Amino acid sequence: MIRMTLGDIADAVGGTLDPFGGDSADTLVSGAVDTDSRLIQPGDVFVAKPGEVTDGHRFVGTAVTAGAALAIVEHRVDAPVSQIVVADAVDALADLAQTVVARVRNRGDLRITGITGSNGKTTTKNLLARILEDEGETVAPRGSFNNEVGAPLTMLRVEEGTRYLVSEFGASGPGEIARLAGLVTPDVGVVLMVGLAHAGGFGGVEATLKAKTELVEAIRPGGVAVLNADDPRVVTMAAVAAARGVEVRWFGRGPGADIRAEEVEVTAAGTTCVVVVDGERMPLRLQVLGEHHVMNALAAITAASVLGVPPAVSMARLETVQIAERWRMQPLGSDRVRIINDAYNASPDSMAAALRTLAQITEPGQRKVAVLGAMSELGEAAGEEHDRIGLLAVRLRIERIVVIGPDARRLYLSAIGEGSWDGEAVFFETPDEAFDYLLTELRDGDRVLVKSSNSAGLRHLGDRLGESFS
C-alpha cells in the first residue's frame, strides 16, 4: 500500500482512530493490507473481517505479534496496536482500496484493466499480467482474488510506481461487479463470455448477462471495452459501451474480430494458431493446453494492444507461459501416464472444453480417462447440464469415465444411459475411493483429465495422481 497517515486511513474508511503508544493521526503506515493474520509482516495493516467459520477479531493478537502496525476492526480489541473502528470491515477494505487507487492514478500514469466472464478470468488475467510486467510495474490478483475481499486486497497492493493494475471481477449475484469495478473505473474492460457459471446465484443466464454488463457500464468514458465477438450475448454489450462513450475492440475467431485466431491446433505439447491483426498473419505457439485458451490469449493480446503493446510483442511473451495457473489444465504425472489437473473450477462450458481437449491430445493407442466431479452453482440447470456432460463424454469416446461424489451422480447415470454400461463409466462416493481405483486401473499411455468445481475437492486428487505417476 502507498504511504498514508493513520488519520488519512481513518478518513478513507469512515472509522474512528484509537492510537496506541506513541502513534498519532500523523503516524505513517505503508505496509501491505491483509485479512489473513498468517500473512502479516512487520508494518502491515490487518483487517479483522468476520467470517462464516471464524472471526478475524480473534486473530488481532496474532497479527500484532507478527508486527502489524494497524488493525481495522468492527469493535475495539484488547491488543497493543493502533486500531480504527469501523461499522463494516469489508466495506472499509473497499473504501481504502478506492482511495489508494485514486491517489496513485491522480499522481501518475496508472492504467487499469478489469476482466470478467463466466470462464477464463484467471487465465486471461495471468496472460495479460505476463505481457504487461515487461512494460512496467504490474499488480494482478494472486490466484482467483476476484470477490468483495480479494479484489480490494489486490487493489491495495498498488504502489506509487505501479503502472498497470489488472483486476479480476467475479460475482455470485447482481450488483457485485458494479460495486467492485466502481472502485477503480477501469480504463479497459474485458468481457470473455457469458455462460452458466454461477447461474444459480444470478437466477439464469440472462441475469448473468446483465451482471457481466456491469463491467462495461463501469468503464470510464473514453475507455475501451474488449469484447468477445463470438459470443452473441457479449456482442450486445457494444450498445452499452457506445452509449457511455466507450470504444469497442473485438477479439475472436470469426472475421468480425479486430484480433482473431485461425488454424487452431491442439496437441499434448500445447496449442498453436495463427493470429491475424490488420491483415498480418503471425504464428502463436502456446505451451498452455486447451483450444479454449486461445480465446483467453486473444483477449489478453487485444487488451495489451489497447495499452500500447504491439501484438507481436505480446505473443512472444505469451509463448513463455507454461501453465495458466495451478489446477487449471496443469500437466502432471509423466509421459507414461499424463495427468491434467483442471479441478479448480468448472462450468458446463469449461467442462466441455476440457473434455474436448482430452480427446484432441490423446493419440492412437492411448486411452482417454475423465475423472469428473460436480459443477456447482448451476441452480435449476444443474441436472440437465450434468446430463449433457455425461452424454458428451460418451460421444467423445472417453474410454474410462470416473465420476465422483453424490452431486455428480446424474453425470454418471447419463453416461450409463448413453451406452457406457460395460465398465466404461464407474461411480465413487469419495475421492479416496476413486484414487484407490485409479492406482490399479491406470496404465501406460493413459491421458487423464481431472475436472470439477472447487467445492468437489478433486484438485487434491489430481495432485495425488500426478505424484503417484510422476
Place of cell 475472436: 252
Q: Is 118 annotated as a binding residue?
A: yes
Rounded CA separation 30/43 (Å) = 7
Place of cell 491421458: 447
Cell of 452: 470439477
Output b/e per residue, 232-244; b: 16+ Cβ within 10 A. Answer: ebbbebbebbeeb
Do both 301 and 364 map to the same domain? no
Give the pairing of strands 280-286 and 270-277: antiparallel
Do both 17 and 63 map to the same domain? yes
Do both 342 and 446 map to the same domain? yes
Do both 339 and 314 map to the same domain? no
Q: Is 119 annotated as a binding residue?
A: yes
User: Could you list the residue range(s) of the whole structural domain that residue 199 is in?
Assistant: 108-318
Do both 340 and 430 map to the same domain? yes
Please report the pLDDT score of residue 173 as a whole number.
Answer: 77
Averaged pLDDT of the chain: 93
**CA torsion 417→422→428→433, rounded to 10°?**
-170
Rounded CA separation 386/390 (Å) = 6
Q: Which residues contact residue 17 at a Cβ distance below 8 angstroms, ignoring those fewer than 6 apart?
A: 6, 7, 9, 10, 25, 82, 83, 84
Domain holding 24: CATH number?
A: 3.40.1390.10
Do both 13 and 67 map to the same domain? yes
> What residue type is assigned to position 163 of the chain?
R
**CA torsion 4→67→47→114, rounded to 10°?**
60
- Reported as a single tens digit per residue, the pLDDT across 21-78 is 999 999 999 999 999 999 999 999 999 999 878 899 999 999 999 999 999 999 999 9
pLDDT level of residue 206 (50, 70, 90 thresholds):
confident
Please report the pLDDT score of residue 432 as a whole number.
Answer: 96
Please report the pLDDT score of residue 371 as a whole number.
Answer: 97
Do both 144 and 218 map to the same domain? yes
Q: How many domains does the chain have?
A: 3
291 vs 328 pLDDT, higher one: 291
Cell of 383: 441436472
In-domain check, residue 323: no
- Name the H helices within 25-72: 60-65
In-domain check, residue 103: no
Please report the pLDDT score of residue 240 as a whole number.
Answer: 97
Ranges 183-187, 417-421, 463-467: which has the least confidence: 417-421
198 pLDDT higher than 70: no
Q: Which contacts qualify for 142-151: CB closer than 8 Å, 24 or more apart?
A: 143/325, 144/168, 144/170, 144/344, 144/345, 146/121, 146/122, 146/170, 147/171, 147/172, 147/176, 148/90, 148/94, 148/176, 148/179, 148/180, 149/35, 149/49, 149/90, 149/93, 151/97, 151/180, 151/183
- Reported as a single tens digit per residue, the pLDDT across 269-289 is 899 999 999 999 999 999 998
In-domain check, residue 195: yes
In-domain check, residue 367: yes
- Reported as a single tens digit per residue, the pLDDT across 404-443 is 999 999 999 999 988 766 678 999 999 999 999 999 999 9
Question: How many residues in the chain?
Answer: 470
Rounded CA separation 373/376 (Å) = 9
Please report the pLDDT score of residue 53 as a whole number.
Answer: 80
Do both 116 and 253 map to the same domain? yes
In-domain check, residue 247: yes
Rounded to the nearest 5 degrees, what angle is found at the Cα of 249, between the Cα atoms of 243 and 255?
120
In sequence order, the β-bridge partners of residue 82 are 70
- Reported as a single tens digit per residue, the pLDDT across 143-156 is 778 899 999 999 99
444 pLDDT higher than 80: yes
Please report the pLDDT score of residue 210 as a whole number.
Answer: 92
Domain boundary among the residues 286, 318, 350 is at 318
197 pLDDT higher than 60: no
Rounded CA separation 208/172 (Å) = 9
Rounded CA separation 49/367 (Å) = 48
Report pTM: 0.88
18 pLDDT higher than 70: yes
In sequence order, the β-bridge partners of residue 261 are 275
Domain boundary among the residues 274, 291, 318 is at 318
Do both 239 and 355 map to the same domain? no
In-domain check, residue 101: no
Please report the pLDDT score of residue 283 as a whole number.
Answer: 97
Domain holding 459: CATH number?
A: 3.90.190.20
In-domain check, residue 218: yes
Do both 357 and 415 map to the same domain? yes
Do both 259 and 352 map to the same domain? no
Please report the pLDDT score of residue 419 as a whole number.
Answer: 74
pLDDT level of residue 133 (50, 70, 90 thresholds):
very high
pLDDT level of residue 201 (50, 70, 90 thresholds):
low
Please report the pLDDT score of residue 80 as a whole number.
Answer: 97
Element (H, E) at 259: strand 259-267
Do both 112 and 219 map to the same domain? yes
Question: Percent of the chain scored above 90 by pLDDT?
Answer: 83
In-domain check, residue 102: no
Domain holding 209: CATH number?
A: 3.40.1190.10
Q: Is 120 annotated as a binding residue?
A: yes
Phi, psi of 283 (to 5 degrees): -75, 140
Domain boundary among the residues 35, 66, 91 is at 91
Phi, psi of 386 (to 5 degrees): -65, -35
The SS3 of residue 270 is strand
Question: Percent of the chain scored above 70 by pLDDT?
Answer: 98
